[in-house]
Amino acid sequence: MIAIPQAIVAGMVAQARRELPNEACGLLVGKENEALKQYPLTNVDHSPEHFSLDPKEQFAVLREARRQGWQVIASYHSHPASPARPSAEDIRLALDPNIIYIIVSLQEKENPVVKAFSIREGAAEEVGILNSKF
């Protein structure tokens, strides 16, 4: 289970819509399983089918999180035209088993879907999101 405030869920959806037709991406920081802040990052691939976080931005988030006494608890990205489930590539690239992976699907433009997953050893398992209505 991960707790994500309404404003952060809305922020991820808004970023995903702004960055269409490309995938949007970013990090959530907080404590334990509670997200406290969203960091939208640049998708350096500028692609509608895959993403890569900007390394400089990623390290800046890590520094800021440590300064606040927080940690990165989730990575998120959007699927502009596919469901909110990890692709084979998403699973292959999920290298940190200690964070949650969030997907924002805009497949149905008027009804975005946000889902969270624990990905370990090549297997994805959906986890619940608290406070996720937007």
Which H or E element spans position 32?
none
Q: How many Å apart are CA 9 and CA 55, to the nearest integer?
A: 23
Q: Which pair of tokens denotes residue 105?
A: 């699907």
Provide the residue range defining the domain that includes 36.
2-130
Is the pLDDT at 132 greater than 70? The verdict is no
| pLDDT tens, position by position, 24-57 | 999 999 999 999 999 999 999 999 999 999 999 9
The pTM for the full model equals 0.94
CATH of the domain at 38: 3.40.140.10
**Number of domains, the chain:** 1
By the 10 Å C-beta count (0-12 exposed, 13-18 middle, 19+ buried), 114 is classed as buried
Q: For the chain, give the percent of residues with pLDDT over 70.
A: 98
